[in-house]
Every structure is written in C-alpha cells, then in structure tokens.
Amino acid sequence: MRIILADDSVLFREGLARLLSDAGLEVIAQAAGADQLLTLVAAHHPDLVIVDIRMPPTHTNEGLQAAQRIRDLHPDVAVLVLSQYIETSHVVRLIGERAGGVGYLLKDRVAEVEDFLEGVRRVGKGGSVIDPEVISNLVGRPRVASPLDQLTPREREVLTLMAEGRSNQSICERMYLSARTVESHVASIFTKLGLLPSADENRRVLAVLTYLRS
C-alpha cells in the first residue's frame, strides 16, 4: 500500500511515517499543507492519503476540503482523515454519497497501534472506518424521528459496528454472536431502513449513510 501523509506537525508526521513503515506499509511522500498534498496526489497517485483536518494557513478545515477534492478528482484514492476533535458534521461531509475507501479517526487513536493499523488497511482496501468516539457522539445526540427508530437495541448495536466499518465476522467476534444471528440482524436492518435487495456492500454503505444523517 502506497501512502501519502499530510500534517503540518513534522514530529507527528515523522512518527506516523515510522509507525506505518514498521508495519510494512510504504510512505511515498509527505506534505505540510493542503495545496502541497493535492500536488503530490496528482503526481504520485497513491493508494491512500492520511490527512489532518486542520491545516495551514487558517488551521480550520483545509485538510477536509483537500480530502473532499481528492475524492472528487481521484475516486480510486482512499482517504483517511485524522482530527484532534469530534466534529460529526465533518464526518457526513466527508462521506457524501459513498462510504467506500474513506475513514475518520481521532488522532488519539494512533496510540492504539493495532486498531489504528487495522483501520488504515481497511480504508486502503476500499472499506470504511469511523472512530468509535464519533459513533458514540452521534448515537447520544438528540434526533428527529427517523427510520432508525424502528430498530431494536441489538440491531442499533450491529449498525453502530457496521458504521465503524466492521465486517459481519468482526461483528460476530465483538458481540459474541453466531454468523447466522448477525446475518439475520443485518438483513432486518436493511428491511427496516427500506434498502431494497442489491449488492450487500452497497446496502451497508447506504445503511451507514442513513445512520449518520439521522
């Protein structure tokens, strides 16, 4: 997996590059700003970009804007955004209409090395990952009536894990359920959310988007 890193903190960037290299991943370039990142992506066409949301010059959302532009111009390049803070509106903006090859993690998650590397590999392979802290925040906020109200507590738990990017097998292991039970919960979620039969991966994306927007 060929990766480009973008963060204005040299120490964080170099540390992250070392962590990824030690895990057998290839960091092909590094950027200190959003404009430099876009130039590097166009020149090297990596498999994955890891970018901080807050970048120079204003340190607000330049990284997020660059990530969205990369997804528009280079749809086959996966994007993993790192943030110091929980900003749920940014998650929805980043995912847009497709949740494949995209991730949003808090920077603190890097310290949990194995989980972080699992998320990097998942996004790089076309999957998705959303930080569990962000998911908890989304679950806890007040909501207007939505199709999610039809889900049982167990189905909501399954959908939460789906939103984190977990496969059915991973959900089995996390919830200590059989594969058949998880498949039954997933099928029920699709039905209650009105997602007609299609490729399961597409319905998982649509289910997650429904979850995030509600």
Per-residue pLDDT of the chain (214 residues; tens, 9 = 90+): 999 999 999 999 999 999 999 999 999 999 999 999 999 999 999 999 999 998 888 888 899 899 999 999 999 999 999 988 777 666 767 776 566 788 889 998 898 899 899 989 989 998 888 887 877 666 555 555 667 778 898 998 898 888 777 889 999 999 999 999 999 999 898 888 877 666 555 677 667 767 666 6
Contact, 51 vs 80, CB < 8 A? yes
Residues 113 and 194 both lie in one domain: no
What does the alpha-carbon distance between residue 134 and residue 137 come to, in Å, rounded to a whole number? 5
Domain termination site, one of 93, 114, 136: 136
Residues 148 and 125 both lie in one domain: no
Residues 173 and 131 both lie in one domain: no
Domain termination site, one of 81, 101, 136: 136
Q: Which pLDDT score is estimated for 191?
A: 87
pTM of the model: 0.71
Residues 113 and 172 both lie in one domain: no
Residues 117 and 11 both lie in one domain: yes
User: Domain residues for 34?
Assistant: 2-136
Could you give the count of Cα atoms lying within 13 Å of 42 in the half-sphere of its Cβ?
Answer: 10
- Report the CATH number at residue 170: 1.10.10.10
